[in-house]
Amino acid sequence: MIADKEIEEIIRGIVQKDIAIADKYHELSSNKRRRVVELLRSEGLSSLTNLIKKAKKRSFEIAHKRFQNIAGGNLHTPVYLIDENLVEENMRVLRYVKDRTDCKIIHALKAYASFSTFPVMKKYLDGVCASGLNEARLGYEEFGGEVHTFGVAYKETEISQILKYSTAIVFNSFYQMQQYGERAREKGIEIGLRVNPGYAEVEKEMYNPCAPNSRLGIIKKEFDKNFLKYRGMIDGLHFHALCEQNADVLERVLQSFERLYGTYINGMKWVNFGGGHHITRDDYHLELLIKLINRFKKKYGVQVYLEPGEASVLNAGVFITTVLDIVKNEIDIAVLDASAEAHMPDVLLMPYRPHILGSGMPCEKKYTYRLAGPSCLAGDIIGDFSFDKPLTRGNRLVFTDMAHYSIVKNTTFNGINLPDIAVIRRKGKITVVKRFTYKDYRDRQS
């Protein structure tokens, strides 16, 4: 018999596979959530995981209809529209991993840095990871908590400020640690080294930190040669080898990392598993991730960090655009007020084909169009899409999953204005949190 009726209700609902119990679990206090986890056996924990994933998926499906309704309104375009409710749904999943493992999760600002939603995010996460001075300062001032900064190489003119805003600093070479490590130690800042785990499954070499001749992370040969000299300065190790991948890939990366560096972990405080974990994706293997973290912590006695960026806001934001014109050149070409080059650079860089609500693959639906941006770049092409009805000038199109690696990468190429940024607040109100003007363009120039 469980003394706490609230916990008893949660466990009963899990046994009955009641999807409504997911929200009730999330609403529990930290102590009560941990108590639920302690009381459940493996089958019950798997059931709870499935209920949380199903509840989240349902919330996102409802939100897609909401996005389409909003797009039909009078919102100024182009605009990034971030749903705070969906951000929180992702946060709940990340916190659930923490409940099950006592790991720490910090958000990667390089993927998403729109601080208007930080008040929601920081209730669930332990802080942020930064790539340099500006991100470290933003994390310190707007997010709070821990700030872990990793730079491929730090500048002498910036290191004092970086140390001011960081709680941990990760070096990419023994030389950089030799240069700046003592200053970090004097300020009570923890020190880590990024290592090359020697294995990755990232298909696109541009995104592969373990590609041949990569500058990212100390290779095993250099680590063996220098480690003992600096052992007393090092609090943790950091590796990063994933890109939008599942826990099975992490498992194989961990095997390589442990084989190369496992003997060095004894006595350290933490190991950071890096980012690229698609934890909030519907098909992500949460139970395997939890198992890997718990096994690693038990084996080495260290704190484990994860630093997802994309997963924090996966599918939580859209990009709404307007069809400005339709021209013909053997095919129908719809010119939008949004540019792949300026507003969605990864469409060209990766490359990848974004999804549009209500669209299909070319020729799948009755009417097919090539969607293109307004810039002078001939290759400013978003892709070919089909629709049930013909597009007309003034139609609104909703590109999904556009919060991460879009806003942070925008440019003003051709003087094209940066899109607005709007947020759907938790009670449904839409707030335009940023509108860019000519001044923003001018001030970026000389």
Q: Could you tell me if residue 79 is inside a domain?
A: no
Q: Could you tell me if residue 369 is inside a domain?
A: yes
226 and 358 share one domain: no
110 and 170 share one domain: yes
34 and 175 share one domain: no
- Range(s) of the domain holding residue 360: 317-443
Tokens (6 digits) for 367: 């009417």
Within 8 A by CB and 6+ apart from 328, the residues are none
377 and 323 share one domain: yes
> For position 72, what pLDDT does the model report?
86
313, 335, 370: which is the final residue of a domain?
Answer: 313
Q: Could you tell me if residue 1 is inside a domain?
A: no
290, 313, 336: which is the final residue of a domain?
Answer: 313
3 state DSSP class of 65: helix
43, 69, 95: which is the final residue of a domain?
Answer: 69
Please report, for the domain that includes residue 340, its CATH number: 2.40.37.10
- 10 Å CB burial of residue 22 (0-12, 13-18, 19+) is buried
Tokens (6 digits) for 284: 């992500």
Q: What are the tens digits of pLDDT across the range 99-143?
A: 999 999 999 999 999 999 999 999 999 999 999 999 999 999 999
331 and 302 share one domain: no
Would you give the DSSP letter of residue 102?
A: -
Per the structure, how many domains does the chain have? 3
Strand pairing report for 317-329 and 396-399: antiparallel
297 and 328 share one domain: no
Q: Could you tell me if residue 78 is inside a domain?
A: no
Query: What are the phi and psi torsion angles at 111 (to 5°)?
Result: -90, -35
191 and 289 share one domain: yes
Instruction: Report DSSP letters for 197-227, one per residue.
Output: -S----SSGGG-TTSTT--SSB-HHHHHHHH
426 and 343 share one domain: yes
124 and 259 share one domain: yes
Measured CA distances, 233 to 249, 268, 313, 362, 443 (Å): 31, 10, 35, 57, 42
Is there a cis peptide before residue 78, judged by omega within 30 degrees of 0?
Answer: yes
> For position 22, what pLDDT does the model report?
94
Q: Could you tell me if residue 229 is inside a domain?
A: yes
295 and 428 share one domain: no
Stretches in the chain below the pLDDT threshold 70: 1-3
> For position 2, what pLDDT does the model report?
54
pTM here is: 0.94
126 and 26 share one domain: no
> For position 1, what pLDDT does the model report?
45
